[in-house]
Amino acid sequence: MAVAAKVPAILERVKPYRQDLSKKSHIILGNEYEDLIFTELKRNLPEGDFIEFVRENQSVDASLEAMRKGVPLIAQAMFAHRFGEFEWLGYADLLVRDDYELSVSADGSLTAIAVAGAPKRPPKYVVWDVKSSKKESPKYWKQIAGYAEFLQLHDLASEQPVGVILAGRGLVRADVSESIETMRESRVRLFELMSLVTPSEITQAFSPLECCAEKHVCEDLYCSYPDLCAKIRYERDSLEQLPSGLPQHRTALNAAGIFTTKQLAAWPHDLQIEGLDNRLVQKYIHWSQIIQKERDGGAYFETIANPKSVGLPDASAGDLFFDIEWFNPLEQEELIFMFGVVDAQAKFTAFLAHDVQQERVAFEEFVSLALNKLESYPDAHIYHYDSPEPHRLRKLSVRYEILDVEVKRIIGAMVDLKTIAKASIMPGCAGYSIKQLERYYQADSSLQRGKLVKGGDDAMYQYHLYRVLSVANRTKEAAEVLRVILDYNRDDCLSTKLLAEWLRSLGPDNESI
């Protein structure tokens, strides 16, 4: 509310944390898919049967006028409705007059066909949303419910179910009557809260910074300030710092008067918490104590098992440390565009691919390198962090129908260091991403994290940017973007190597730091 009210002090504070959502890979892909669908409809329908509003001509009046004229298909219609002193605003991806049906044409593109019967007067419309995902989600219907209600308010809503256009032109439909009622109830509660104050009354003192109610909201959805949310949770010593802390568990802890990890760390071990198994309570208490030790004294962890006893092999001169980067091109199979490897001497090698033909070659080159190492050093292993690498090696072997035996040999020699880390240490950061763990093995002096892309999703955006620059023949700029991604991948491989070395240094004589 303070940001919307443009409170200067709040705007200044949040500015360094704001992220450009248009650079998130799933949003880029979604926008590209929308553009593709609208291009197909425009090409396949007679002139005048499809119109798309753009920023320059978007307005509620223009959208209503197009519907009342009976335009068969309307893209990006602008909706707004005032509820008392509040206004609701949104943009519907696609409106289809209900005497038309969407269908897939012989060439695989999307079109719309007029069905028998005269159009209704006034015309009635069905709301469709465009999603680049392959599966529907309940949240899609909640979003569409707002647009369907707007049509109802203007006597323009069809009785037919609303729909979603999924990846590959999959068409799914649903009745959103219940979703509309749920949305109305939620809106009433929201407006009641908002009516307690006017924009002119929102000041820095009135509006302490809030974060998303659940951290997965800003990590997985559309929060513009995820780093700020994380900072606020840390400053408040929120229970959301606990790993795998489920909302219902936090509710039980709150009911017992526990709202911070400091309070939980001091909870008597013999005192039960209603609604929680005591073993789970003890685990949360232990985690909270470790979190507090890191908050009070800097990087801290505890060893709960010798890493070698939970599957960490001895080092070998033939060891490899492996990380891949991938991209999801519109309407194509996922592309593994980078196979990065650091060897035991910290030498970095990368196999690059910018199309499916090159992907197969890069895949074969990596497999050849890995097999040569394993044959030359029978005690060697290939280390990675989390599951993408073995999973995608299997997929490539199946996709190209090659190297089945060789890939099985490689996967048999692979070691997932995330599994080892989770079984052997409890870190004070209460998380197990490799970038969180780097503080414990002083990786900063060997890596360039501050100068490179921020993570896997940013690497996908950077590769999208590389492709755009390449198509535009801006070769020098494209090469620089690719170099940044290469440096990022090298850091991931090198960090995996440093993590393996650090884990080997832990044992019974090094239980905590």
3-state secondary structure 146-159: HHHHHHHHCCCECC
pLDDT band at 245 (very low <50, low <70, confident <90, very high): low
| Mean pLDDT, the chain, whole residue set | 89
**Contact 240/213 with Cβ under 8 angstroms?**
no
pLDDT for res 360? 97
Residue 499 has pLDDT above 70, yes or no: yes
Q: How far apart are CA 201 and CA 464, in angstroms?
A: 43
Could you tell me where the beta strands, DSSP code E, fall in 28-174? Answer: 50-52, 73-83, 86-97, 100-104, 110-114, 125-130, 162-166, 170-174
Lowest-pLDDT range, 69-78, 192-201, 221-230, 274-283?
192-201
Average of per-residue pLDDT across 346-374: 97
pLDDT band at 394 (very low <50, low <70, confident <90, very high): very high
* Dihedral of the alpha carbons of 231, 232, 238, 243, in degrees to the nearest 10: -30
pLDDT for res 208? 55
Give the number of C-alpha atoms closer than 13 A to the C-alpha of residue 203, restricted to the C-beta side: 3
pLDDT band at 447 (very low <50, low <70, confident <90, very high): confident
pLDDT for res 353? 97
Average of per-residue pLDDT across 461-478: 94
Could you check whether the bond before residue 122 is cis, i.e. omega within 30 degrees of 0? Answer: yes
Residue 223, number of CB atoms within 10 A of its CB: 17
pLDDT tens digit sequence for 290-316: 999 999 999 999 999 999 999 999 999
Who has greater pLDDT, 138 or 393?
393
pLDDT band at 86 (very low <50, low <70, confident <90, very high): confident
pLDDT for res 335? 95
Lowest-pLDDT range, 230-239, 300-309, 362-371, 394-403?
230-239
Indicate the SS3 state at residue 507.
coil
Q: How far apart are CA 52 and CA 42, in angstroms?
A: 9
Q: Which domains does the chain have, with CATH numbers?
A: 19-191 (no CATH), 215-303 (1.10.150), 314-505 (3.30.420)
Average of per-residue pLDDT across 460-488: 94
Average of per-residue pLDDT across 58-63: 93
pLDDT tens digit sequence for 197-236: 666 666 655 555 567 767 766 765 567 888 888 888 889 9
Side chain identity at 56, as an amino acid letter?
A: E
pLDDT for res 418? 97
Spatial CB neighbours of 242, under 8 Å, sequence gap ≥ 6 = 261, 284, 287, 288, 291, 430
pLDDT for res 198? 66
pLDDT for res 479? 96
pLDDT for res 404? 97
pLDDT band at 391 (very low <50, low <70, confident <90, very high): very high
Could you tell me where the beta strands, DSSP code E, fall in 312-372? Answer: 320-327, 335-343, 348-352
The encoded tokens of residue 63 equal 């959208």
Highest mean pLDDT among 137-151, 197-211, 420-434, 447-461: 420-434
